[in-house]
Structure 1
Amino acid sequence: MTDLLHPAVPHGPGGTPLTLPIYQTSTYELPRSPAAAEIAAAVAPAAFYTRYGSPNAREAETILAKLDGAEAALLVGSGMAAVSAALLSNVRAGTRVVAQTSHYTAALTLLRTVLPSLGVHVDLVPQQDVPAAVGPATDVVYVETPSNPTMTLTDLAAVRAAAPNALLIADNTFATPYNTRPLDLGVDLVVQSATKYLNGHSDVTAGVLTGSAQLIARAWETARVLGPVCHPFEAWLLARGLKTFPLRMARHNANGLAVAAFLQGHPAVRAVHYPGLPEHPQHELAGRQMAGFGGMLSFTLGTEAAAQRVVEATRLAHNAVSLGGTETLITHAASLVFTHQTEQERTASGIDPGMLRMSIGLEEPEDIIADLRQALSV
C-alpha cells in the first residue's frame, strides 16, 4: 500500500511544461520550519490550501490584473461571488451605498435584500441619475456598465467626479477590459463574471475582482471566510481561454454591430439597445468610454407573445442564459434572466415584456442575421 501511495517516478531529461499543469490538489505539504507559518499567514498563498489559492488561480489572476491595469486580482467561484466579495468586504452597518436600479438580477437581490438586512443603507436610483444621487455622505457607489440587459451606460468619469471620496465599484462584465478599462476612469474596484467573455467557451463558472493590492487583500479575507473557491481545473480553463481573448472580442464587436444594424432596420423591431448604433441615446458617451461596443444587445418587439415566437423560431441561436461564449444565445429577459424580480422591479430596471437579450457569438454574421430574419418573419 505504501508503494501505491508513494510511487517512485523518475524525473527524466526534458524541458519544463509550456502550459501550466493543473494542480488538482486540495492541500500542499509545507516545509518543517517557521516558513510554514509565514505561508499560512500570507494573503492568497498559491500553495497552501486551495480555498486560499492555487498556482492555477495565481496564473489567471496575473493575466487578469494585467488586462485591467490593476495592482492585483482575486479569482473566485462565480461572478456573483466577485460582486458579493467586493461589496461585503467594504460595507458594515450604517454604510451608505448608491447603486443603479438596473443591475444583473442576483446583484439586485444582494442590494435590495441582503445588504439592508445587515444594516447597510442602499439607495437605488435610475442609472443615468447616479452622478446626481451621490453626495458627501455616500460611502460606496456600485455601478454596472453597460447594464444587463438594457445596454444603458454609466458615465464612470462623471460618477468619480461627483463622488471623489466614495469607494467606486464597477461591474465590467459586458464591456470587458478589451472595450472599457474602468480603473483608468477612476474606478477603485472592478468585478467581472469570468464565466462570460473572459473565458469565452461556456465551460467555466468563475468571477474576478481587480484593483489595488489593499482592496484585493480585503476582498480575499472575505472570500476566505465565505469560501467561493475557483477550483484549479476551472482556473486552468480560464487561463487557457484568456489566450484568445483579444481575438474573440474583436469578432464579438464586429458581429454585434452587424446584427444590431440589421435589427435597427427591421420593421418588426420596435427598439434596438446597442451603444454602438448612432441612434443609441448614449452613443457619444460610448465613443468616449468604450474602445468597442461588444457582442451583447437587446431588442424589443411589440408584445411578449411576439418575442416568444422569435425565440421559438430561431434555429442557429440557442435559447440559453449566460453569455460571452462562442455560440449565439437568445433569451427572453423578463421570464428567464429576471425571474426572481417582481414585475415592479423589472419595470424599474427597464425590462419590457417584449424584450429579447442576445449574446452574439463568433459565427459568420450573415448566418446570425439570416436566422433572425426568418424568425422575425414567422
Structure 2
Amino acid sequence: MKGLKFSAASQAAQALGWIDPVTKAVVPPIHMASTYQRDEDNAYSSGRVYARADNPTFDQAEATLAALEGGAKALIFSSGMSAASACFLALAPGDHVVVPKVMYWALRNWLATFATHWGLEVDFVDAEINDALAAAVQPGRTKLVWLETPANPTWGVSDIAAAAEIAHKAGALLGVDSTVATPVLTRPLEFGADIVMHSATKYLNGHSDIIAGALVTAREDAYWTRLRTIRAQLGTILGQTEAWLLMRGMRTLFPRVQWACRSAQSMAERFADHPMVADVLYPGLPSFAGHAVAARQMKGGFGGMLSIRVKGGERAAIATAARVELWKRATSLGGVESLIEHRASIEGPGTPCPPDLLRLSVGVEDGNDLYDDLDQALRRAHNA
C-alpha cells in the first residue's frame, strides 16, 4: 500500500492491497507450475527456476507476514515443525542451543532425540526466569536461544527483550515461537528477536484446513540464506493451494484473534472462581505469574489460549472433556472452532503437562455459549 500509513489490521485485511497485474483481480491466482522456462539466452529473467525453491503463490503471503511482523523477509514452510527444525538444522553439529522446558511437545521431543543425535548440544531451561536463561547460555558456544511465549500448554510468558540481551551478549541469535501471540498481539522483532516462527496451521490460517509453517527474519544475513537453502534442498515447501488458503486466512487474522482474546479473557475470569476448577492458567489474569511481562509485550489482549486444572485430577479432567457439546475434542489450536484437549494424554510419558489440565483454544463462537457448555460439563463430570 502506498501513500497513507495504514494499520496492520488494514494491511492484513487487504493483503497489502496487492492487485493481480494482468487481470486486476483483488484475489491472487494460484500458480500451479512446477517449473519455469528459460530465456533464449539460457537465463532465467523471471528469477524462478524450479518450484521446490519458491512459487509465485508464496509471494503475497510471505510479503504480508513480513510486513505484519516488521521483518525484512518471510518464508513459508510445509509445517510448523519444518519451519522450527530448519532454525536448528541451519546450525552446525557441536553448536550449543538453549530452549524452554515447556514448549510445543513435538519440537521438544525432536530436540531431545534427533537434534542431539545429529550433534547439537541442547539445554532445556526455565526460559521464563531470566537468571536461569542467562546461566544456561555459554558465551562463544551458544548459537541459538529459543523461546516460546506464551508457552504451550501452561502459557508461561518469557521476557523477549531480556532474552535478546542475554543471547546477543553471548554472540547467539534469538528465535521466538510466536504462534499463540501472533503479530496481532506481539511482534518479537521489535523486542530484539532475530527470527520469529509460526505454526501457520494455527492462527495465521485460522480455519483448520491446512498444515503450514513460517519464519520471519529481522535481516537478510548468512543465517537467513542457510534457512532458504534448507527449505529448497529438503523440499519443505508449502503446496500452492495451501499457500493460497494461508493468505486467505491471514486476511481475517485481526478480527479472529481479537474476538478470541475477548472471549478467553472473560472465560478465564469466570472460571477463576469456579467450584470445580483448581486453577486457571492465562496471562491475562493479574494473579498469573507472567502477567506483568505479558502486559508489557502483548498489546491488545492476552491470546485465545488458556488452560484449566480440574478438581478431581486426571479422571475428572477427561470426564469433563467427554461431556462437552459445543467444544470439539481435538488436537490443534487457533481455528474458528473452539477445541478442548486433555494435553497430557497426547504428550505421553515425560510430559511436563499436569494430568489434571485441559487445554482450551477459544474460537469465534459466542463466549457465553462456550462458558455454559464447559460449565455444564464440569458439573456433570463432578456429579458422575
* Shared fold (TM-score, shorter chain, > 0.5): yes
Which shows bigger deviation, 119-128 or 132-141?
132-141
SS of structure 2 residue aligned to 1:103: coil
Kept after mapping to 2: 8 A contact 1:327/1:360: yes
Contact 2:305 2:361 in 1 (8 A): yes
More displaced stretch, 108-117 vs 357-366: 108-117
- Which of 325, 330, 353 aligns to 2:335? It is 325
Whether the aligned pair in 2 keeps the contact of 1:73 and 1:216 (CA below 8 Å) is no
Deviation at 1:96, TM superposition (A): 0.8
Secondary structure class of the residue paired with 1:257: helix
CA–CA separation in structure 1 for the residues paired with 2:23 and 2:62:
25
In 2, distance between residues paired with 1:24 and 1:258?
44
Amino acid at match of 1:65: A
Deviation (angstroms), 1:25: 2.3
Q: Secondary structure at the match of 2:329?
A: coil
2:190 corresponds to 1:189: no
Please name the residue that 2:260 is paired with: 252
Question: What are the superposed Cα offsets for residues 63-120 of structure 1, whole Å, 9 maximum, x if unpaired?
Answer: 010011000000110000110111111x112101111111111111221111111221
Equivalent position to 1:232, from 226, 233, 240: 240
The amino acid across from 1:213 in the alignment is: E
Q: 1:203-250 deviations in whole A, cap 9, x for unaligned?
A: 111100000222432201011111112011000011111111111111
Match of 2:290?
Answer: 282
Q: Distance in 2 between matches of 1:148 and 1:135?
A: 26
Which deviates further from its counterpart, 189-198 or 132-141?
Answer: 132-141
1:255-290 superposed Cα distances (whole Å, 9 cap, x missing partner): 110111121110111111100011111111110011
Distance 1:135 1:94 in 2: 13
**1:139 partner SS:** strand
Kept in 2, the 8 Å contact 1:173–1:196? The answer is: yes
TM-score by length of 2: 0.88
**Structure 1 residue 199 and structure 2 residue 208: aligned?**
no
CA distance in 1 between partners of 2:60 and 2:172 (Å): 31
Q: CA deviation at 1:34?
A: 3.8
1:139-154 equivalences in 2 (<5 Å): 139-154=143-158
In 2, distance between residues paired with 1:15 and 1:185? 40
Separation (CA, whole Å) in 2 of partners of 1:139 and 1:29: 40
Kindly indicate whether the alpha-carbon contact (under 8 Å) linking 2:100 and 2:127 is maintained by their aligned counterparts in 1.
Answer: yes
1:377, CA displacement in angstroms?
A: 0.6
Partner letter of residue 249 of structure 1?
V
C-alpha distance in 2 between matches for 1:67 and 1:78: 20
Following TM superposition, by how much is the alpha carbon of 1:180 offset from its aligned partner in structure 2, in angstroms? Answer: 0.8
4+ residue segments displaced more than 6 Å: none
What do residues 303-348 of structure 1 show as CA deviations (whole Å, max 9, x unaligned)? 1110011111100000011110101000000012x13xx2xx31xx
Deviation at 1:132, TM superposition (A): 3.6
CA distance in 1 between partners of 2:88 and 2:71 (Å): 18
Query: Which sits farther off after the overlay, 128-137 or 255-264?
Result: 128-137
Between the two proteins, the alignment pairs up a number of residues equal to 349
Per-residue CA distance 1:28-68 (angstroms, 9 max, x = gap): 223222422x76xxxxx5x4322111111111000010011
- Over aligned residues, Cα RMSD in angstroms? 1.4
Q: Distance in 2 between the 1:33 and 1:213 partners?
A: 30
Q: Is the 8 A contact 1:191 1:208 kept in 2?
A: yes
* Native 8 Å contact 2:344 2:354 kept in 1: yes
Q: Residues of 1 paired with 2:52 and 2:154: CA distance?
A: 36
What one-letter code is carried by the residue in structure 2 that aligns with 1:158? A
Aligned to 1:6: none
- The one-letter amino acid paired with 2:205 is N
Q: Note if contact 1:131-1:158 (Cα within 8 Å) is conserved in structure 2.
A: no
Say whether the 8 Å CA contact 2:144–2:167 is kept in structure 1: no
* Structure 2 counterparts to residues 127-146 of structure 1, below 5 A: 127-128=127-128, 129-136=132-139, 137-146=141-150
Structure 2 residue 350 is the aligned partner of structure 1 residue 366: no
Secondary structure, aligned partner of 1:147: coil
Displacement, 1:15?
Answer: 4.4
Q: In the alignment, what sits opposite 1:178? A: 184
Distance 1:367 1:220 in 2: 45
User: If the length of structure 1 is used for normalisation, what is the TM-score?
Assistant: 0.89
Specify every segment of 5 or more residues in structure 1 that has no aligned partner in the other structure, as ranges: 1-13, 40-44
Q: Which amino acid aligns with 2:376?
A: Q
2:355 equivalent in structure 1: 353
Gaps of 5+ in 2: 1-21
In the other structure, the counterpart of 2:95 is 95
Which sits farther off after the overlay, 133-142 or 231-240? 133-142
Matches within 5 A, 1:55-94: 55-89=56-90, 91-94=91-94
Work out whether residues 299 and 357 of structure 1, in 8 Å CA contact, stay in contact via their aligned partners in 2: yes
